[in-house]
Structure 1
Amino acid sequence: MDGDWFGMAASAAGGGVFGVVGTALGRLAGYFEMRQQNAFEEKKWAHDVSLARLTMEADAVRSEMELATEREAGAWDGLSASLHAQAALVSGYPFVDAIRALTRPALTLLLWVITALVFFNVDAAEKARIVETAVFAATAATLWWFGDRSSPTLRSGKT
């Protein structure tokens, strides 16, 4: 009977040790499984972030393209309106249309002729001030008059 108690105690101790080792191995396996699951989740989150970033970039490009399309449509609408307005100005008299077309160039030429006359015919004492003022006016008028005829996209600063 002594052997039976000893055998039973050894079995209980062996079962306990085996149970503890089994639990430790289960926990160790659970740790590695959880670590693998976390690594998978991190990769999934990184993928989701990357996908969201790509979606935002695509939406931004799409919005920019829509804005550019609207801008171009507006430019064409402006050009069309300008052409219709220009057609409405045609009087039917070629002489009147020629005078209207030559107004800005003639005024520009006249302004530069006046500037040259002032430059060559003014006293030296007043020449610097008058010439500076005349050159300023002539340059501003030339650039304004002919710059005003540029395309709408150039005037708005967008290419």
Structure 2
Amino acid sequence: MKYMENVKNKKAYYNYEILEKFQAGLVLSGQEVKSLRTRGISLSGTYIEIKEGEAFWVNAVIPPYQPLNTDKNYNPRRERKLLLNKKEINYLAQKVKERGLTLVPLSVYTGTYKIKLEFGLARGKKKFDKRESIKKREVERKIKSEIKHEGVNSL
């Protein structure tokens, strides 16, 4: 069976300033694991919510593995529980209560037996922040290309 590649949420780095990163295991059914490994998933529009001392991954759509043989009660948009320590959950709950902070999924990846979610504690960027980060990235690219060309010309 082909293993799932690292699925990244590219928009998260554009729309949010990531302050801290965390990893968590996911509680999934067998059908969801097979579906994730073969088809992948889109992380856009998903978020993490903390309710009653537990963390949940909300709005993630995992399509059925075999659509024709799917159980009638299968819900592709159900909330999936994250496996975190109580200490981590309490820390995250405290941070999310602060104004402007949220939990954003960054990537889903797999090892041999486990599927994990990497997420970040993030603050939303304003439009001018987004433009500023694009400018910084372009300047860094120019500097790298100039250094590369200078190295070739000096030989």
TM class by shorter-chain length?
Answer: under 0.3
Bigger fraction of residues in strand: 2
Structure number with higher relative contact order (C-alpha < 8 Å, ≥ 6 residues apart): 2
> What is the TM-score of this pair, normalised by structure 1?
0.18
Q: Higher helix fraction: Structure 1 or Structure 2?
A: 1
